[in-house]
Amino acid sequence: MSPASTSGTTSNGQRSTASSRAVRDVVFVDGVRTPFGRAGEKGIYAGTRADDLVVKCIRELMRRNPSLPADRIDEVAIAATTQTGDQGLTIGRTAALLAGLPRTVPGFAIDRMCAGAMTAVTTTASGIGFGAYDVVIAGGVEHMGNHPMGAGSDPNPRFMSERLVDPAALNMGNTAENLHDRFPAITKDRTDAYAVASQDKLAAAYAKDQIQPDLVPVATMKPGQGWTVNTVDEPPRPGTTVGDLAGLRTPFRAHGRVTAGNAAGLNDGATAALLASADAAEELGLPVKMRLVAYAFAGVEPEVMGIGPVPATEKALKSAGLGIEDIGLFEINEAFAVQVLSFLDHFGISDDDPRVNRYGGAIAVGHPLASSGVRLMNQLARQFEEDPTVRYGMTTMCIGLGMGATVIWENPHHQDYGTASATTDASTESVATETGATA
């Protein structure tokens, strides 16, 4: 369908032309990440700069996609929750320069806490859909060893004095305990069992070489130890049992339910993804691993921020014209086990449903805040390739201060990929009606 154009005269008498555009298809071409490390002096990235981790990812994307000329990249969007020091100075632009991209390639930084990389993807994808970009790089980084969560922040005193939010909303662990209060059926035993399953699934995925293909080796140097090439994630604890988790302390509440064993840890790492319009991908000979179908963000009470993926998913499904039963694979960020289980319970999905986090999740692999959204996408894309029977998949996560994010993707390996859907028909009809064009 060709976009329709209308002409008119502006108030100063000059001629103007306004064009209505049909939304273009956006595809996920490729995604990579560094191995995730444990934050702190003993972690693999102690002494390593955050921006250097991003540079590794950008360079690896270019190496893996040699048919893409560097000057065809239209934007670099990199997220970080703490935008200071080696995560500051408009990191999307500085990382692009450090990675050796042409100086004509612009970049910017973005922050939506845990959903930073996910927002970098959806923001630049919107630009592709609109026609402002053809090819972009979007990702995120968090070096929680260099920048502990909340360090240097200065919350406005009105949050407390005017009781705008519950004090617990400023501590993510407390919000997880609040979820347990709200949903008493989600017991500590359930969350511990879920956490063990996450460790087991990640270990199985490593054994099948399902994680390693998207990892970027990172060389690090520590005084007295020399150089080390890091090729695997540091946080996993394979072989963990429910018994191991039973006696862990509950740091956020006396006799609570949230522990270091059923929550994601403090981690360092970076991710980056290559997105393109479907036409540009075809022109440049780039692979298509997923097609973006719909996305949504939603706000919830900050003191129970973990429930955020529920309304975000409901909004995204409505936008896509799909139901939860149409989703064949779920990649849910595991900030806390209770948060994942509240999502599953809401939608009537069992704790051990094989569609959910097939490779395990953040409880096992780690959660370097703003980088995690692209990790979810990497894993979903690989699962799409392995299972062409699944047409639609979802990446979703909770976000600090009371938000949720969900992105729905289509599997290009499915037999019905590319055929008309209810969503496509509806959007085409809408554009045709607004522009006067015929499909």
- Single out the catalytic residue among 114, 143, 147, 180: 114
- Cβ–Cβ under 8 Å, residues 354 and 274: no
Q: Examine residue 223 and state whether it is found in any structural domain, yes or no.
A: yes
Q: Examine residue 17 and state whether it is found in any structural domain, yes or no.
A: no
Give which of 436, 335, 303 is closest to 113, Cα–Cα: 335
Q: For each of the chain's 439 residues, which pLDDT tens digit applies?
A: 333 334 444 445 444 445 677 899 999 999 999 999 999 999 999 999 999 999 999 999 999 999 999 999 999 999 999 999 999 999 999 999 999 999 999 999 999 999 999 999 999 999 999 999 999 999 999 999 999 887 888 888 888 788 888 877 778 999 999 999 999 999 999 999 999 999 999 999 999 999 999 999 999 998 888 999 999 999 999 999 999 999 999 999 999 999 999 999 999 999 999 999 999 999 999 999 999 999 999 999 999 999 999 999 999 999 999 999 999 999 999 999 999 999 999 999 999 999 999 999 999 999 999 999 999 999 999 999 999 999 999 999 999 999 999 999 999 999 999 886 544 443 433 333 333 332 2
- Cβ–Cβ under 8 Å, residues 72 and 41: no
Active site residue 114: yes
- Give the DSSP H or E segment for 270: strand 267-277
Q: Examine residue 4 and state whether it is found in any structural domain, yes or no.
A: no
> Sign of the CA dihedral 83, 87, 88, 91?
negative
Give which of 14, 97, 7 is closest to 51, Cα–Cα: 97
- Single out the catalytic residue among 143, 147, 180, 398: 398
pLDDT at 421: 53
Active site residue 367: yes
pLDDT at 10: 46
Counting every residue written for the chain, the total comes to 439
Helices (H), 271-336: 278-284, 309-320
122: buried, middle or exposed (CB in 10 Å: 19+, 13-18, 0-12)? buried
Give which of 403, 359, 354, 360 is closest to 122, Cα–Cα: 403
Q: How far is CA 29 from CA 59, 138, 216, 274, in A?
A: 15, 11, 17, 5
Q: How far is CA 273 from CA 33, 78, 121, 248, in A?
A: 9, 10, 8, 37
Q: Examine residue 221 and state whether it is found in any structural domain, yes or no.
A: yes
pTM equals: 0.91
> Sign of the CA dihedral 264, 266, 272, 277?
positive
Q: Examine residue 9 and state whether it is found in any structural domain, yes or no.
A: no
Rounded-to-integer distance, Cα 207 and Cα 189, Å: 27
> How many C-alpha atoms does 4 have within 13 Å on its Cβ side?
12
Phi, psi of 226 (to 5 degrees): 80, -160
Domain that holds residue 204: 23-146+157-410
Q: Examine residue 428 and state whether it is found in any structural domain, yes or no.
A: no
Active site residue 398: yes
- Single out the catalytic residue among 143, 147, 180, 367: 367
Q: How many domains does the chain have?
A: 1
Q: Examine residue 434 and state whether it is found in any structural domain, yes or no.
A: no
Phi, psi of 21 (to 5 degrees): -110, 145
Around Cβ 403, how many Cβ atoms within 10 Å? 22
Give which of 110, 179, 192 is closest to 346, Cα–Cα: 179
With the CA atoms of 409, 300, 332 and 328 taken in that order, what torsion angle do they form, in degrees rounded to the nearest 10?
-50
Radius of gyration of the chain (CA): 22
Provide the angle, in degrees to the nearest 10, between the axes of the packed helices 309-320 and 337-346: 40
Rounded-to-integer distance, Cα 43 and Cα 59, Å: 23
Q: What is the CATH number of the domain that holds 166?
A: 3.40.47.10
pLDDT at 150: 78
Helices (H), 247-308: 278-284
pLDDT at 7: 41
- Cβ–Cβ under 8 Å, residues 32 and 378: yes
DSSP 3-state of 63: helix
DSSP 3-state of 259: coil
Rounded-to-integer distance, Cα 248 and Cα 173, Å: 15
